[in-house]
Structures are given as C-alpha cells and as structure tokens.
Amino acid sequence: MEYMKKNRRGIRRQIAILFALGVLVIGIQTFLSQRSLADLNVSRQTVTFAEQVADETTRAVKEYPSYNWLIRYWHNHPNTMDIEYDADYTTGTATLEKCRLLRQHVPELEIKYATEADIAKLNIEDQKLYAEICYSWLITRVDQIKQSYGVDYLFCVLTNTNFEKQYFLFSGADPGSIRGTNYEEVYTLGVNITVSESQKQAMENAVKDSSYLADAGDYMDYYSYVDTVNGDPVLIGMTYSLASLRAAERTMTINGTVASVLFLIILSLICLGLITGLVLKPLKTIQDNIRSYQSDKDSKAVKDNLASVHPDNEIGELSEDIVALTQEIDQYIAENGRITAEKERISTELDMAQRIQASMLPGIFPAFPDRHEFDVYATMEPAKEVGGDFYDFFLIDNDHLALVISDVSGKGVPAALFMMISKIILQSCAMLGQSPADILTKTNEAICSNNELEMFVTIWVGILEISTGRLLAANAGHEYPAILRAGKQFDILKDRHGFVIGGMDNMKYRQYEIQMNPGDKLFLYTDGITEAMDPDKKMFGTSRLIDALNEAKDASPDTILKTVRESIRVFVKDTEQFDDMTMLCLEYSGPDKQTN
C-alpha cells in the first residue's frame, strides 16, 4: 500500500501538465499572429459606438418637448429640487407619488408630452413637481443606456462659452454606485467643476463639429453637442475603455483564429486519447455499477464489481468511496423510512391541531344574521401550522356584545395551547357579566396561578351595549385599536394600556369608554399586521395600515379586512410570513336599524 501511494499518478496533474503545454504553444502562436492586426478596426468601431450612445442619450433628453425649459430649471434650482435617483418607472415610490399629485392638480396635463407653453400655465409648486418627475424619469433612462452599452462614465454638462467649467446636469450610474460630489463618485445635479486643458479643447471641438472623439490609449473620451440654452452649450460626454474592443478585434483576426483552431484540434485529439484510457474507461465501470445499484440497491454486488478498479489514482479512490456510499445509502434508506413514518404521524397530528384551533374561533359569517344593529368580521392567519393569536366575539346577553383579540408570546404548538387556555378562561369570565377590567383581572389571576413556562398574552377586550353604542374596553399590553367616526377617516385610538396577562400576579386593569355612533367602525389587530416585513426588512407599519383602512373606509368589515390583507401582500412580495396575522372589524349601525 505504501508503494502504491508513492507511485500514484494524479489524473489532475497529468491533465494539468498536458493542457499547460497546449496553452503555452497556442498562446505563443496566437500572440505572434495577432500582433500586426490587433488595432486594425478599433478606431472605426469606436466612433460608431460613441455616436450610438450619444444619439440615444440625446434622444432621451429631447423626447421631452419642454427639454429646453427643463434644462434651465435644473440649472437654476439644483438645491431646491427633491430628486429620486436610481428608481425605475414603476417602483420609484417618491416619483410615483409626485405623478399622482401633479395629475391631481392638473388632470389635463400629459407629463411626458408637455410643452413649454403647458408648463408656463402651471404654478410654481407644480412646475417644481414636473421638473422633479422628468428628472427622475430621465436619469432612469440614462442609467439604462449606460448599463446597456457598458460605458465607464456617461453624463450631460452645461458649459460656458470659454469652456472653463462643467456644470453637471445628470450622470448615469450602475446598480450600487455612489452618487455624490467626490472624485470617482457619480456626480449629482449641480456639481460644478473646473476642467483640464484637454477637456476644454475637446468640448470646444465638439461645439464646432457637433462631436469630438479623443483617443487616450486604452480609453476614449467623447463629447457630443446637444443644444444651446441661454447662450451656454449643452454637451453629452462619455468615457469608456477600449481594452475589450481591442482584444475582440485581435481575437477575430483570421490568422490567429486559424492557428488557434489547428493547435486546439491537435491538442484535443491527444487529450482525448489519454483521458479515455486514464479516466473514461474506469469511470464507465463506476457509472454502470451506480446505475445497477439504482435499480436493485445491491451494495454487495457493487463492492464485488468495483474491485477491478485498482486504487492507483483518484479514480480508484472514487470507486472505494462509491462502495462506502452505497452501504451508507442502504442504512439511510432504512432510517429514512422510520423518520418518514414519524413525520407523517406528526403532520397528521398538527393538521388535527389546526382544525381544532380553527373550530374554536368564530368562522361563520355573517355571525349574527338576525341582528342589524352591528356587523362584525374577523380573520386569523397563523405563521405556522397553528398559531398563538386568537379573536372572539359573542353575545353575553341580548344587549351586550363581547369583542376580544389577543396575541400569545411565541409561535407554534406551545403558543397555540396557551392561546386555547387563555381563550377559555377569558370567555368564561366574560360570560359572568363582569366589566372588561374585571375580566382581564380575573383572567390574569387564573393564568398566573399556573404559568411555569412564564408565557404571556396581550389582550384587548370590549363589551358593546348594543342599544346605546356605549363600548367599555380594557387593554392588556395589546396594539392600539383604530377607529373610524362616521364620515371621517380611520385613525389610531391611543387607549390606556395595562400590563400583559400572565406577566405579573395581582395586576389591576383599568377600563375606558368609547361612544359608538351609527356608521362608526372599530378595527382591532395583532402586531403581525404592522410588523410584516418586505424583502428589505422594512415593516408595514401603522401609517400603511391606516392608509389601507382609509382606502376601504366606506366598505363592509369583510371588505376592509380583505383590503388590508391585500396591501400587506403587495408590500411583503414573496417574503415568508413570520408572525400570526389577526384582524377584527366592527361596524355599529345603531338601534334605529333593528328589524322587529
């Protein structure tokens, strides 16, 4: 065995030496054949490429009929403009909001095709919005042009008649580039720099001849004249590397290509013969045995057949590894069968637990079809198979409706069990006709008396006197409710908070009163709503929740909840739900809508 290890010849080393010799020969021949032809067509292609980039960028600027006005405005107001850089047409939230505002102010204005005469009719605020929107759209297009053509720098400047300074109107950027005023950063609107003598000469020539190309070795500087605004020339400028273009031209030369192909064919034939004998034949034996094992799972036969593959290199070691692997797979299959059966049992039990939990929550709507004084709707979506949130609503008597929403600490099965216990205790206390404060106090005492796991639960409970609209409520560390007064907007009701249930014994809870008038609505929720995250780890938040509620403020409770859920879905995109999401909405119609 020691002798075999000393004389083992690694296939990787054999192939590496072979290809190293081949690459060396091909490299020398290719270099000699390409040296005289490397720069033959670079200049012509460079001019064509630069003209294409400049023409497309110029069209992007001039597609706005009011571009002359826009350039003047950008030049005169760089410090007052609120610009959203590097956002596309559909996800630039600030720009989209500005579009909405401008269309709200001036519905008849077609932003993309507005003329200077149209802009002159706008007030100062709307002119600023128009300039900011067009700038964000334009910079998005310039970014696309830069990235599409792969230029290093693409920008538009305003210069004076002496060509001594460059006032930057916009600059293209790659994803992740830093926009700023420092050297090598992507310059923002309003950056004003003093140019070098070569740049001054290039801009002057561009104004005279419409464009100018300065070849600086492996780099190209190019300026193209766009227009004159207030007597000052506007130029499109770019810089990009010629190294890749020169390399491409060398590669395309006929002599180099033919020589490379001939040497590659010869080298490939040699390599093929060696690889067939050293690698492919023993690998074929290993492959046949792997396929045989796939069909009959006979690891003993694999071991006997692979004994002919002698371990004098890595292929031999691979055959030994295959034998060991088949034996391990036999053991794994047996173990996996046991684990699969156990998982199926657990999955069945979890499914049963989910059904039991769902059956404990009111799930038939309308919940009280014979009562017209109010309408109530609620949903609960657990983050896992079972959750720790719960809601409840029930009639204590003919004139009192109890409302409950709760969030247990933790997730999964422990939280679900604690939730069921909490729900039963709370409902039992509520049915005794006690006040919301007494209900929370009694529930806390019951849970604290046997809470070895030190879990806790937040609860909001309210009792509505249906005939008067008087709602008594108490809050044990739960989220603030949202309330809508008839004819107005939803807003957060910052109520009195008590300590969480199960957190500390001997707690006393205070209650407060809400007068519900016909048309008023009350929205309750758990923190899984406001803490839902998008792919950038930003939370949905209270402000977005209020916006979603007000979007459907005139709708029925079930439509309101569906609107909020859709807003969350759009916000989080494909992000996995990490917390239970529970909502409840009550609409009070008043006793005058009862039917006898």
Q: What is the residue-level pLDDT of the chain in tens, covering all 596 positions?
A: 444 444 445 555 666 677 677 667 776 766 666 655 555 566 677 788 888 999 999 999 999 999 999 999 999 999 999 888 877 666 668 888 999 999 999 999 998 899 999 999 999 999 999 999 999 999 999 999 989 988 888 999 999 888 989 999 999 888 888 888 887 788 999 899 888 888 888 889 989 988 888 765 667 788 999 999 888 999 998 887 766 666 666 676 666 666 666 766 777 678 766 676 666 666 666 666 677 666 666 676 766 666 666 556 666 667 666 767 776 776 677 677 666 656 665 555 455 555 655 567 887 888 899 999 999 999 988 887 677 788 999 999 999 999 999 888 776 677 777 777 878 888 888 777 789 999 999 998 888 888 777 788 999 999 999 999 999 999 999 999 999 998 899 999 999 889 998 888 889 999 999 999 999 999 999 999 999 999 999 999 999 999 999 999 999 999 999 999 999 999 999 998 888 899 999 999 998 554 43
The answer as to whether 495 is a domain residue is: yes
Strand partners, 471: 464, 514
CA distance 477 to 472: 17
Can you spell out the DSSP letters for 387-415?
A: -SEEEEEEEEETTEEEEEEEEESS-HHHH
Whether 543 and 408 map to the same domain: the answer is yes
pLDDT at 7: 47
Q: Answer yes or no: pTM beyond 0.75.
A: no
In one-letter notation, the amino acid at residue 302 is V
Please list, in sequence order, all residues whose beta carbon lies within 8 angstroms of the beta carbon of residue 51, skipping any fewer than 6 positions away. Answer: 211, 224
pLDDT at 538: 95
The answer as to whether 377 is a domain residue is: yes
In one-letter notation, the amino acid at residue 173 is A
DSSP 8-state class, residue 592 = G
Q: How far is CA 117 from the centre of its chain?
A: 41
Q: Which of 247, 282, 306 is the last residue of a domain?
A: 247
The number of distinct structural domains making up the chain is 2
pLDDT digits (tens, 9 = 90+) for 377-401: 999 888 876 777 889 999 999 999 9
In one-letter notation, the amino acid at residue 491 is D
The answer as to whether 358 is a domain residue is: no
Cα→Cα distances 460→66, 140, 199, Å: 57, 48, 70
Cα→Cα distances 1→7, 213, 307, Å: 10, 70, 15
Which two tokens mark 246? 């020169």
Which two tokens mark 531? 């803490």
Helix (H, G, I), strand (E, B) or coil at 19: helix
CA distance 86 to 126: 22
DSSP 8-state class, residue 539 = B
The candidate with the shortest Cα–Cα distance to 134, out of 81, 175, 76, 58, is 81
pLDDT at 21: 75
Q: Which of 247, 275, 293 is the last residue of a domain?
A: 247
Whether 394 and 523 map to the same domain: the answer is yes
Range of the domain at 61: 42-247
CA distance 14 to 552: 73
The answer as to whether 537 is a domain residue is: yes
Which two tokens mark 128? 């600023």
CA distance 61 to 139: 10
Strand partners, 222: 213, 238
* Contact yes or no for 480/493 (Cβ under 8 A): yes
Helix (H, G, I), strand (E, B) or coil at 103: helix
Burial of 511 (0-12, 13-18, 19+ CB in 10 A): buried
The torsion angle over the Cα atoms of residues 278, 281, 286 and 290, rounded to 10 degrees, is: 140
Say how many Å lie between the first and final Cα of the chain, rounded. Answer: 100
DSSP 8-state class, residue 481 = P
Strand partners, 407: 389, 458
Give the CATH number, domain containing residue 55. 3.30.450
Give the CATH number, domain containing residue 573. 3.60.40.10
Which two tokens mark 242? 């010629």
The answer as to whether 124 is a domain residue is: yes
Helix (H, G, I), strand (E, B) or coil at 210: coil
The answer as to whether 584 is a domain residue is: yes
pLDDT at 315: 66
Strand partners, 224: 211, 236
pLDDT at 425: 83
pLDDT at 73: 94
Cα→Cα distances 250→22, 242, 261, 581, Å: 20, 12, 15, 62
pLDDT digits (tens, 9 = 90+) for 70-94: 999 999 999 999 888 877 666 668 8
The candidate with the shortest Cα–Cα distance to 377, out of 508, 119, 557, is 557
Helix (H, G, I), strand (E, B) or coil at 522: strand
Q: Which of 229, 247, 265 is the last residue of a domain?
A: 247
Establish whether the linkage from the previous residue to 414 is cis, with ω within 30° of 0: no
Helix (H, G, I), strand (E, B) or coil at 21: helix
Residue indicated by tokens 């490429």: 49
